[in-house]
Amino acid sequence: MDINVVNALPYEEFVKLFGNVVEKCPLISAAVWSCRPFKDLANIEVHIAEFIHSLPDSGKEGILRCHPDLAGRDLQSGTLTQESQEEQSQAGMTTLDSAEILKMYRLNAEYKDRFGFPFVICARLNNKADIVRQLSERLKNDRAAERERAIEEVKKICSLRLRNIVLPDIQTKL
């Protein structure tokens, strides 16, 4: 949809359509709706990023806690959001063998014990080997650094999800 259609959406429709651009955080889309009219796709991203950055650390961690574990119980039980299901599938998380699943469970648990929120990475920009490597490496970070790194990954995920909804500006000008 082009930006003019986005700007014309009533509140309820906007929140329904954009409510999961940040995993299970429709409050963010509700908050940025009032920033309309948006100039373009990038402007929506800026407003979402500004909202996230304005949150206290506890709010940022709340956003991170809304994310599922990669290759975790939600994937195994089929309860992921449609977006997360597609993203984890593209990254190879749905084709792990039993040893890989156990390794992911162990690393996810270690990460959550250390930081208090799940490991977040933009799965669409990584494969399973990259994910395991980065999960292991990021366990060495301190909490503040890891929170900021994870929020940067949330913004990457959001950006890609927005591009599935809103036409990039170049396409609207053709």
pLDDT of residue 132: 96
pLDDT in tens, the chain (174 residues): 999 999 999 999 999 999 999 999 999 999 999 999 999 999 999 999 999 999 999 999 999 999 999 999 999 899 999 999 999 999 999 999 999 999 999 999 999 999 999 999 999 999 999 999 999 999 999 999 999 999 999 999 999 999 999 987 655 444
- Taking only the tens place, the pLDDT of each residue in 21-37 is 999 999 999 999 999 99
- 107-125 residue pLDDT tens: 999 999 999 999 999 999 9
Residue 167 exposure: Cα atoms within 13 Å on the Cβ side: 12
Catalytic residue among 47, 67, 138, 147: 67
Domains of the chain, with CATH numbers? Answer: 3-62+162-167 (1.10.3330.10), 64-150 (1.10.3330.10)
What is the maximum alpha-carbon separation in the chain? 50
Is 47 one of the catalytic residues?
no
Amino acid occupying residue 141: N
pTM tops 0.85: yes
The full DSSP string for the chain is --HHHHHH--HHHHHHHHTTSSTT-HHHHHHHHTTPSPSSHHHHHHHHHHHHHHS-HHHHHHHHHTSPPTTSHHHHHT-S-HHHHHHHHHTTGGG--HHHHHHHHHHHHHHHHHHSS-----GGG--HHHHHHHHHHHTTS-HHHHHHHHHHHHHHHHHHHHHTTS--HHHHT-
